[in-house]
Structure 1
Amino acid sequence: MSSLAATLSDSAVITKRNLIKVKRVPDLIVFATLSPIMFVLLFRYVFGGAINLPPGINYAEFLLPGIFAQTVVFGSTVTGASIAEDLQKGLIDRFRSLPMSRAAVLIGRTVADAGLNVISITVMALTGLAVGWRINSSVVEAIGGFLLLLVFAYAISWLMALVGLLVRTPEVVNNASFMVIFPLTFASNAFVPLESFPSVLQTFAEWNPVSTVVQAARELFGNTVPGAPVPEAWPLQHPALYTLLWTAIILAVFVPLSVRTYRRTAAR
């Protein structure tokens, strides 16, 4: 069997193992579904009346792409925390003794967590439909919007995988991750229009990849105002392209870096 085929086979086994773990620990599914519902309802009904939007779009349609992005990005922290937990419990030592690809552990972990994101997005979409969100585009465009969100979140999960390998304590991973992810998601156009931001923060938000994945999702779902002025910032003029560029950069940097760190960690 070739090296690539062996890696894919081993990765599939690890992915299955992680998904079986989710099945046997129902708390993971419960919180993966309840948290998105809570965010949708809170933002829809607590902040919905306080946000001024251009005529032609309701807050539910403005909000849901932002909630999608926030939830899948926050969900990537599960990758880092799970890897840190496996290190802490000695599971990685067992994997090290097996004739398997070193990259398979990380690939299996990130793919399984992408599956959790699929569940979260499905629950959020159903909740969004119940509170007034609608998809006003074609089926192909809508699928493209969901795929873009999942691909971007998958890239972030590799960054979190590196954090989990370096920190090794699930609690610290969560704290360290939120220090980065929390400002990225809230200093964006996910919940309020960028025009309400101070000038310096607005510039940061315009080039923030979270803003562009939200903008791209809104456009693909048809949740934008017809005839609205084109944003001045280049990333928001080409949000899908800019998001994919960031996705490629993150994967190109953190996949080999995470695998190298894992090999060094497993060799100890």
Structure 2
Amino acid sequence: MTTLLIPSPARQTGLSAQFRNTWSIAWRTLVRIKHNPAELLDLSVQPVMFLLLFTYVFGGQMAGSPQEYLTYALAGIIVQNSVFTSLNTAVGLHADVEKGVYDRFRSLPVARPVPMIGRILADMVKQVWALGLMVGLAVLIGFDLHGGVLGLLAALALLVVFSLAMSWLNVLLGLLAGSEEKVMMFGFVIAMPLSFTSSAFVRTDSMPGALKWWAENLNPITFLADGTRALLNGTPVGNSVWVSLAWAAGIAVVFFPLALRAYRAKLS
């Protein structure tokens, strides 16, 4: 009896094919919301909760009134939510790898990084949803969008670029961590200090010397929050936007090759 061997289809490495395949993977991730509406609820409740709590619990103490504090803190709340939400990339990737989803992707004739990039793009769409929800609610409760639509779009672009860069750190974290609990633990160990030792929620002038120097010179969240705040409020951005973009480029340059190497090693 002769065994018929059917060769595996060649991997689609062309640019247009990779784009289609990446979008298909991203759509697979997004369409799961239709079958699990609780996922959309998770994306909506946390941003709303953070916004209302910071505005109405801390606003009077920090700035004299909730609306006045909202003018300063909205950018910081958005940035913090983006940083925390980006951890979903690490958790989701880890879960998919452990469940064998990426083993099935590996059998498909697609370039190896396509499933990973598709997952990241889907998470960016979720980030945009959360940002729009927070800004819309902030306007309803008294935030004046002095930066206008162009300022809002520029702030959105800045946050998406920075979040994309951070995604490679999260991919590496998701691939190296031994469990979803460890992914979240290590993620919060990174995200929490960066958020609260920055200008996201308080002005750096109130910080003691060493912490003030760190916040103003080395903490990337300070530059991201300052740039987002200036774009939303229509005030001069100074160098905060360019420094944020430089930080994003540096993070991507460092962690993209490390994440790609870890991804290939995990699925080899």
Q: TM-score, normalised by structure 2?
A: 0.90
Which stretch shows the higher mean deviation, 244-253 or 33-42? Answer: 244-253
CA distance in 1, matches of 2:238, 2:139: 28
Residue correspondences, number: 255
User: In the alignment, is the contact (CA less than 8 A) between 1:14 and 1:109 conserved in 2?
Assistant: yes
Asked if residue 195 in structure 1 is aligned to residue 205 in structure 2, the reply is yes
CA distance in 2, matches of 1:221, 1:134: 9
CA distance in 2, matches of 1:221, 1:160: 27
Which blocks of at least 5 consecutive residues in structure 2 are unaligned? 1-11
Aligned residues with identical type, % of pairs: 36
Q: Cα RMSD (Å) of the superposition?
A: 1.9
The equivalent of 2:86 in structure 1 is 76
How many angstroms does 1:126 deviate by?
1.5
The equivalences for 1:230-241 within 5 A come to 237-241=238-242
User: In the alignment, is the contact (CA less than 8 A) between 2:13 and 2:110 conserved in 1?
Assistant: no
The equivalent of 1:119 in structure 2 is 129
CA distance in 2, matches of 1:194, 1:28: 36
Q: TM-score, normalised by structure 1?
A: 0.90
Asked if residue 46 in structure 1 is aligned to residue 42 in structure 2, the reply is no
- Give 1 or 2 for the bigger CA radius of gyration: 2
The equivalent of 1:229 in structure 2 is none
How many angstroms does 1:52 deviate by?
4.1
The equivalent of 2:261 in structure 1 is 260
CA distance in 2, matches of 1:148, 1:42: 25
The one-letter code matched in structure 1 to 2:48 is I
CA distance in 2, matches of 1:162, 1:200: 30
- After superposition, the C-alpha distances for 1:196-243 in whole angstroms (9 at most, x for unaligned) are 11111111111311111110111111265x9xxxxxxxxx84100000
- Runs of 4+ in structure 1 off by over 3 angstroms are none
CA distance in 2, matches of 1:138, 1:104: 36
How many angstroms does 1:182 deviate by?
0.6
CA distance in 1, matches of 2:23, 2:256: 17
Greater RCO (CA < 8 Å, at least 6 residues apart): 1
Asked if residue 133 in structure 1 is aligned to residue 134 in structure 2, the reply is no
The equivalent of 2:118 in structure 1 is 108
Which blocks of at least 5 consecutive residues in structure 1 are unaligned? 227-235
The equivalent of 2:169 in structure 1 is 159
CA distance in 2, matches of 1:3, 1:245: 30
The equivalent of 2:32 in structure 1 is 21
CA distance in 2, matches of 1:174, 1:40: 22
The equivalent of 1:215 in structure 2 is 226
CA distance in 1, matches of 2:178, 2:35: 23
CA distance in 1, matches of 2:178, 2:88: 13
CA distance in 1, matches of 2:129, 2:232: 19
Asked if residue 60 in structure 1 is aligned to residue 70 in structure 2, the reply is yes
